[in-house]
Structures are given as structure tokens and as C-alpha cells.
Structure 1
Amino acid sequence: MEAENFLDLLKQVVADGKISFYYYCDPTSPITALHHLEIPYPGELSPVDLPYRWHAEKPSEDLVDAVWDDDSHSWIENSDKSQPALIAKLQASNAAMQKKMENYEAAKIKDAQNNDKIVQALSGVQKGQAQTTVVLAQLVPMVQQLSKSVNTPDTSDKPNAADETKKEEGAE
């Protein structure tokens, strides 16, 4: 209760113009309260007279964890749970997903081209097999005819068994 009474009293003193508020920022501190600490000061300080890391500008109420940025001379968001930080994370993950999709599409196109080459090679093999089958179909009857002529004796060239026995009897 005493802290609330002190704050009410402090706000009244500020409203009367007797106390000014300045904001201390230590962005390297692990204590979040020191990232944007409100400091009451009796009277006013010129920007030149402000101590190190003290700032006259109040951080925006929209910032969850405000820290002073020396480059832009303004308060920026330090929390990774704030809306701007979440949007930045989503944009980064979206860019990464977009790149993965592009790589996937390129790989898909390359695979399709490889598949076309395989299909062409297989169709060439099938044509070759069809031609081989046609040639074999023509050669099989010839081979069968040759094998019949080799397996069956020719009667005109060889004498009969009866002729041979007659020759043998007459020779005696």
C-alpha cells in the first residue's frame, strides 16, 4: 500500500511540475527492469547534462521490453515475445520455407527430366528386344530345318544295309 501511495504522491508532484521523469537503460543487464527504468528527478536536466544511459524520451507503451538504441536514438523492442519480434521470426521462417520450396521444385523438375530419360532408354531397350524377337522368329525355322537335316541320314549318299550284306557275301 505504501508504494501505491508513494506513486500517487509522486504523480501529483510531477503534475505540479516539480519532478521530471527520466529513463535509465542498461540493455546488457540480465535484469529486465534495468532495460527501461523510470527515474524521478526533481527539476529538469538538459540533454547535455543527462548522465550516461539516461534518456528524457519515454518508451512507447507498445514495447514489452524496451531498450535504447544508440544508432537510431530511440527506444526499440528487446523482447522476443513482442509482436514485431514475432513478425520478424515469422518472416525469417517464411523466407526459409520459401527457399526450401524452391529447392524442392528444382529437385522435382530434375527428377522428372531424369525419369523422361529413363523412359526413353527403356523404350529403346524394348524396341531392341522387339527387333531381336523378329530376327529370332525368322531364324528359328531355319535352325530347325538345319537340325533335321543333320539328324536324319541321307539315303542317297549311304548304301542300304542290305546292299552292304550283298557286297560282303559276294566278296567271299
Structure 2
Amino acid sequence: MADENTQVAPVAGAEENATQENKGFTYYFSDPDSVNAEMHHVVITLPYELPELPWHWHIEKPDDSLKDPVWDLKVNGWVENSKDGQAAILQEATQKIEELDKKSAELDKKSAELDKKNAALDQANDKFDQAMKAMQQSQQVQTQQSLALTQGLQKVAEGQEQANKVMASMQQILVGMQADQAKTATPTSDTKPAENTNKQENGGN
């Protein structure tokens, strides 16, 4: 019965391991949990090729440097059998270190991209701050100009009001002067009888 450890894969590669004597197909059986040391590594030669590998069957040949090779499911390969599993642990640790190095490189790349984006964002913020300062300075100048214009218009209005008062006063003076001149030009009662007397004298002649 196959389970999650069963390798469901073509075994065409097993043909490369065929012996020259019988031209069969060589497979390797390994049960690392077996108390029987002979079951740790068993070479099996079949006259036919298996369509898929049963549990504990493999087509990979263990390295000749291994004295007691067993198949380790964690590293998915042959390791040296040992009581404390140092070889398997070392190989697993090596794989994890490689994975961590790969992830670290990816993180460094992402960190560099993030730093680049942050630098661009800082530059954009600086430009925005400069634009805001320029706008505030422009508004301040406009406010000062508006205040100066308002004060100038107020002074002009005050001057116009003073001019109007002066003009009104001058008009009153002119009206008074015209009235005085009119009174001076009107004949008196003493002058009229003298003129009548002269006329009577001229008429008598």
C-alpha cells in the first residue's frame, strides 16, 4: 500500500543502472527504521521495469563512500546510518542554511528596492515641502501687499474727505464774498434824490 512516502514517478532512469550480466533493472530498497540492518540497504534487480516505485524503493544509487547507507525522507536522499543521525542532521541543516541564504538574498533585494522607494519618497516629500514654503511665502507677500494697498486706499479716502471739507469751506467763503459784493453794489437812498434834482434842473433849462 502506497502512502505519502511512495514515489510515483517514471523509472526510466533505472535502465541506466541495469547490470551487464542479466540486462535487468536495478532498484534500491531502504527501510531506515528497521531493526534489521540488512533492510537498510538492499539491491534488487528485476528483469522488467516498474511503472512506479513502491514504498521504500528508489532508483538512485547510494554513494560508494557511505558504509551503511539509508534513505532519509527529510533530505530525500541517501545518508550514512548512525545512531544519533548526525549525517542526516548535518545534511538537513546544510539544506536549511542554503534555503535561509536564498531567502536572505531575496530579503536583501527587497530591502534594497524598499530603500530605493523610500529615497524617492523622501525626495518627493522634500519637493513638496519646498513647494509649500514657496506658497506660504507668496501668500505672506500677497497679504503684505494687500495690507499696504488697503492702508493706501484708506489714506487716499481720508485725503479725499479732507479735500471735500476744504472745497466746502471755500465754497462757503465764496458765497459769503459774493453776498458782500452784492450789498456794496446796491444804490443808497441819499444818492437817488441828488439824481432827481439834476434832472429837474436840466428840464427847467
User: TM-score under structure 1 normalisation?
Assistant: 0.49
User: TM-score under structure 2 normalisation?
Assistant: 0.42
Larger Rg: 2
